[in-house]
Amino acid sequence: MKKANVIDRIFHGGLPASPRNQKGLAFAPTNIALCKYWGKRDIELNLPVTSSLSIALPDKGTMTYLSLQDKATDTILVNDEEIALTTPFAERLVCYLDLFRPKKNWHLHIDIKINIPIAAGLASSASGFASLVAALNDLGAWSLTKQQLSILARLGSGSAARSFWMGFVEWNAGVQSDGMDSFAMPLDIEWPELRVGILTLSNKEKPISSREAMQRTVNSSVLYSAWPKKIAQDLAILKQAIHVKNFSLLAGTAESNALTMHATMLSSWPPICYSLPETLAAMRKVWELRHEGLEVYFTQDAGPNLKLLFLEKNQAELTEAFPDMEVISVFEG
Ligand code: DP6
């Protein structure tokens, strides 16, 4: 099954001939997985081996402005800087847009405003593809549901499937080969005291993309066979912890989930290690603080930065311990 076949299914046979509007715009928040997506059952459609669960960061993400342009190519601006179409970032974006062009000579001016570091493990591709497809929906006046947008965004980047809602979001892996049952849905529970602290330890581009790292893990890590079982357990525990608002159960499970994902990477060949010495130092500090009785946990994605998980009541103590940390009130954006 090809991406184009999925698009045919969403649009029941074909894309609308031309967009209804001259411009389109949309914002999508980035999301941080508490139960990670790591490994695909279908590489073409970004269909995951397992389900996953995330939390949105309301003010962090991507705003995409689209306008039709009478030029032979697309133009891409990221935070007001024009990006060469030969960069891997632009190639991936243009290739995704190719799926939606009603005519070959149909081109766009794409103005992207992003307030998180690109490719440093802060899920920039998640909010990027979600905001892009939501902006296309606005441009074309397609009136697609969020469920349909989630399926389309997944074709660009798996984690983008979860970036259409605030709060807790679960992406159901699904079983169908066309992935029409693999989309995300929000969990209707708020937890206003919950905080995410972003510890930016490095803004450098990651040495290996999550896409490549994920595939290498699936193909070479002897530990990967244990991953689906771990996810099934963690997902059930996380949902229960959210339901009863048990913070240590939620955050402890998220930390264990992230460490297990990184263990599968370390056991891949060639090995994958996103952590820097600063990452390990921050982890040790979290463990020490916890040993001293402060309820703080972390999660880590495909990059060296950590996201700390804690409750509002401990915010003052934690900002003192980590003065450079940016605190996000996840339910008060
Ligand atoms: C570690 O969504 O970036 O952030 O589908 O290949 O684009 P592709 O991968 P991507 O992977 C995200 C991996 C992760 C975990 C997660 O967000 O669940």
Distance of CA 277 to the CA centre of its chain: 24
Q: Are 63 and 177 in contact (CB under 8 A)?
A: no
Domain boundary among 151, 186, 221: 186
Residue 198 and residue 182 share a domain: no
In 3D space, the residue among 122, 181, 175 whose CA is nearest the CA of residue 150 turns out to be 181
Q: What is the CATH number of the domain that holds 20?
A: 3.30.230.10
Q: What is the CATH number of the domain that holds 277?
A: 3.30.70.890
Residue 246 and residue 156 share a domain: no
Check residues 190 and 207 and name the one with the higher pLDDT. 190
Is residue 333 scored above 70 in pLDDT? no
User: Ligand 1 center to residue 211 CA distance, Å?
Assistant: 7
Q: What is the mean pLDDT of residues 300-313?
A: 96
Give the pLDDT band of residue 118 (cuts 50, 70, 90).
low
For ligand 1, mutation pick of 41, 159, 274 (most atoms within 8 Å of CB): 159
Q: What is the mean pLDDT of residues 136-164?
A: 97
Domain span at residue 228 reads: 194-329
> How confident is the model at residue 120, as a pLDDT?
47
Is residue 119 scored above 70 in pLDDT? no
Arithmetic mean of pLDDT over the chain: 94
> How confident is the model at residue 244, as a pLDDT?
98
Locus of tokens 């390990």: 280
Is residue 36 scored above 70 in pLDDT? yes
For ligand 1, mutation pick of 214, 273, 275, 305 (most atoms within 8 Å of CB): 214
Is residue 121 scored above 60 in pLDDT? no
Atom in ligand 1 nearest the alpha carbon of residue 31: 17
Domain boundary among 186, 208, 226: 186
Q: How close are the terminal C-alpha atoms of the chain, in Å?
A: 39
Residue 169 and residue 236 share a domain: no
Domain boundary among 186, 203, 219: 186
Residue 71 and residue 13 share a domain: yes
List pLDDT tens digits, range 247-268.
Answer: 999 999 999 999 999 999 999 9
Residue 319 and residue 274 share a domain: yes
Is residue 122 scored above 70 in pLDDT? no
Residue 60 and residue 9 share a domain: yes
Residue 181 and residue 283 share a domain: no
Residue 205 and residue 168 share a domain: no
CA angle in degrees (0–180, nearest 5) for 2-88-107: 70
User: Ligand 1 center to residue 74 CA distance, Å?
Assistant: 26
| Count of domains for the chain | 2
Give the pLDDT band of residue 117 (cuts 50, 70, 90).
low
Residue 200 and residue 142 share a domain: no
List pLDDT tens digits, range 214-247.
Answer: 999 999 999 999 999 999 999 999 999 999 999 9
Residue 313 and residue 207 share a domain: yes
Q: What is the value of pTM for the model shown?
A: 0.96
**Which residues contact residue 81 at a Cβ distance below 8 angstroms, ignoring those fewer than 6 apart?**
none
Residue 218 and residue 70 share a domain: no
Residue 64 and residue 154 share a domain: yes
Using CA positions, which residue lies closest to atom 5 of ligand 1?
A: 158
